[in-house]
Amino acid sequence: MMKCKNSFFLKTAAAALISSAALASPAMAAHGEELSPAEVTPDVTYTLRTAVQDGKLVFIGDKGRIKDVVNPDLHAPVGAVVQINLINGDGALHDIALPEFDVDSDDIGGQGSATAVAFRVNEEGNFEYLCSLPGHKAAGMVGNFIVGDPKPEAKGEAAQDLAKDPHDVGEPVGDRGPQEVTVNLESTEVEGYLADGSSYKYWTFNDTVPGPLVRVRVGDTVNVNLSNAEDSAHIHSVDFHAVTGPGGGAAVTQVAPGHSKSFSFKALAPGLYVYHCATPMVAQHISNGMYGMILVEPEGGLSPVEREFYIMQGELYTAERHGSQGLQEFSLDKLLDEQAEHFMFNGNMDALTQTYKMEADVGDDVRIFFGVGGPNATSSFHVIGEIFDKVYDQASLTSPPLTDVQTTLVPPGGATMVEFGVEYPGKYILVDHALSRLEKGLAGFLHVNGEEDSAIFHTEEAHDPNSGH
């Protein structure tokens, strides 16, 4: 399809679009200068190809310093003529556009087809390049185009990363007897990293989202000490779903800033339980990050496995749309309408894809302690390319586990424990199979290392129609 947007006219805004590959006739520019494709000599040239990678549609650098980089940053000095070549690498319909410059290429369909745009940049700043076809930006086809040396955004850049390390699973209790255990929690209100260029004022337990995984044994006496940081603006509390007692502890731990309260409980039943803040309005406190889990192991402990991971799903309700830059503000209206802008594992968009690398070796048994802080959305937890050998449904550790499960439902305020052996190397994607949430940040990677076994999985080399063979 031909897209004609006055492609040869010199723009008076941030850029001047000089040519588009499929347009052949010159037109009079706004400054009275005729320009044609034959006259364009780019100062900077980039070549990108389209691809499907890690469950997303992406641009990949094709050569030079950006070769094989996914959605690479593209740079140009002010005043430069820039040419971007786009090669279709996946066979789907795509284009490349830079909306702030009024640049939009022709659509290209069919593997190996190509197009190009050329334009002059007249303004310093950070801009986007993207595929403008419906849904493709949300599916991952977006990158940064940086002109000159713009100053970094003040908000979001310096925010600390509050993502919880999924490896922090505590020590297994083994076959020890009941004992007294002390749990110290501090509620804090901290601006934290949300995604590239954006941040959020999280409310946390111990400065991470989720809070720590508390690991005890059935029969233990658990002493909980909750303090609220002096610089907090709100009262906070904690409700342990593993507690038999008023409010799960929340009734006696409504703690003002700068104060602390304590209570003790007997761990009566084994299981994997959520804890969260239960101060009105409860949904706001939970959404802002105040949730975690407590594992009450049965007598004798859990069976040994090679890898254990701690993962919780949450959602944020912000006034700004998903993908906005800067400090994101909480939206009460969206919370009450249950219209989340962001979904995440372990606190932010990048926690389990970039910040922390979960790894296992072929032959390992993997155990995931998985919970949903919520406060509203039920998770359909799934690992793409794997089957759960065992699912401890509703996190019951005393019921026989389900076997050979593809996807398991986990309600807000609920949990599950899944176990599976890994038999083949590769990158396995953790998702909520309500897959629109993948486009709002909900993804994680499990990297499996080891030797391939063609009896389990085998693929033939794809035929390249342009190779001449």
pLDDT tens figures, 161-205: 999 999 999 999 999 999 999 999 999 999 999 998 899 999 999
Residues 133 and 259 in one domain: no
Residues 77 and 104 in one domain: yes
pLDDT for 423 beyond 50: yes
Is 349 a domain residue? yes
Is 158 a domain residue? no
Picking from 15-19, 227-231, 391-395, which range would have the lowest pLDDT averaged per residue? 15-19
Ramachandran category for residue 6: left, alpha or beta (phi over 0 → left; psi -120 to 50 → alpha)? left
Q: Which residue segment(s) compose the domain that 114 sits in?
A: 15-147
294 touches 313 (CB < 8 A): no
Is 416 a domain residue? yes
Nearest to 228 by CA among 294, 184, 265, 192: 184
Q: How does residue 55 score in pLDDT terms, banded at 50, 70 and 90?
A: confident
At residue 449, the 3 state secondary structure works out as: strand
Rounded to whole angstroms, the Cα distance separating 50 from 107 reads 12
Residues 281 and 363 in one domain: no
Residues 287 and 317 in one domain: no
Structure tokens at 379: 């998770």
Full-model pTM = 0.78
Beta strands 358-361; 444-449: pairing state:
parallel
Residues 258 and 127 in one domain: no
Is 459 a domain residue? no
Residues 311 and 191 in one domain: no
At residue 355, the 3 state secondary structure works out as: helix
What is the chain's mean pLDDT, rounded? 89
Is 456 a domain residue? no
Number of domains in the chain: 3
**Which of 97, 128, 147 delimits the end of a domain?**
147
Instruction: Compute the half-sphere exposure of residue 460: CA atoms within 13 Å on the CB side of its CA.
Output: 3
Residues 311 and 393 in one domain: yes
204 touches 162 (CB < 8 A): yes
First to last CA, the chain: 30
Give per-residue burial for 378-395: e unless 16+ CB within 10 Å, then b.
ebbbbbeebebbbbbbbb
C-beta atoms surrounding 425 within 10 Å: 17
Q: How does residue 151 score in pLDDT terms, banded at 50, 70 and 90?
A: low
Is 42 a domain residue? yes
Residues 328 and 223 in one domain: no
* pLDDT above 90 coverage of the chain, percent: 80
**Which of 237, 268, 297 delimits the end of a domain?**
297
Picking from 13-27, 126-140, 150-164, which range would have the lowest pLDDT averaged per residue? 13-27
CATH code, 216: 2.60.40.420
Is 4 a domain residue? no
Is 328 a domain residue? yes
**Which of 147, 168, 193 delimits the end of a domain?**
147
Burial of 315 (0-12, 13-18, 19+ CB in 10 A): buried
Q: How does residue 411 score in pLDDT terms, banded at 50, 70 and 90?
A: very high
Structure tokens at 341: 């802008």
pLDDT for 467 beyond 60: no
68-106 pLDDT, tens digit per residue, is: 999 999 999 999 999 999 999 998 999 999 999 999 999
Residues 114 and 47 in one domain: yes
Average pLDDT over residues 440-447: 96
Residues 278 and 341 in one domain: no
pLDDT for 462 beyond 60: no
Residues 34 and 130 in one domain: yes
Q: What is the largest CA-CA distance in the chain?
A: 87
Residues 44 and 103 in one domain: yes
